[in-house]
Amino acid sequence: MDWEPLLAAARAARKNAYSPYSGFQVGSALTAENGEIYAGANVENAAYGLTICAERSAIARAVVEGARRVTAVAVVTAASPPSPPCGPCLQSLAEFAGPDLPILLANLDGERRELCLRDLFPIPFKLPS
């Protein structure tokens, strides 16, 4: 898989993160089944529970544009090793992708780790049909 377009979009989004409380900037970009790339950044709030993570920001952007299936995700932070999505973000990704969803974790120093959703979130919550 060519991760470079997703990484570039995630890096660019990270620069626009609003993180005055934690100082932890995150950028994420996903590819949807329509082939489009949707990027997002974390947006913090003084009422911390209102903070939205970069991954959920990208998902929301994709959904607003009509996408319903995520096919790949890249997450960029400054952390070493590269940081994975949090639990709520993983659950959100599980809503729009299957367990084989490729996820690339990267940082600004070039470290990378490629996993799939099931590696990070083996048993997502699902409502019974």
User: What is residue 66's DSSP assignment?
Assistant: T
The pLDDT, as a whole number, for residue 74 is 98
Q: Helix or strand or coil: residue 63?
A: helix
The residue from 36, 55, 95, 114 that is catalytic is 55
Active site annotation includes 55: yes
Q: What is the pLDDT along the chain (129 residues), one digit of tens a residue?
A: 899 999 999 999 999 999 999 999 999 999 999 999 999 999 999 999 999 999 999 999 999 999 999 999 999 999 999 999 999 999 999 999 999 999 999 999 999 999 999 999 999 999 998
pTM confidence score: 0.96
Domain ranges of the chain: 4-119
Strand order in the sheet with 102-107: 37-41, 27-32, 70-77, 102-107, 112-116
CATH topology of domain 4-119: Cytidine Deaminase; domain 2 (3.40.140)
| Partners of 27 in beta bridges | 41, 76
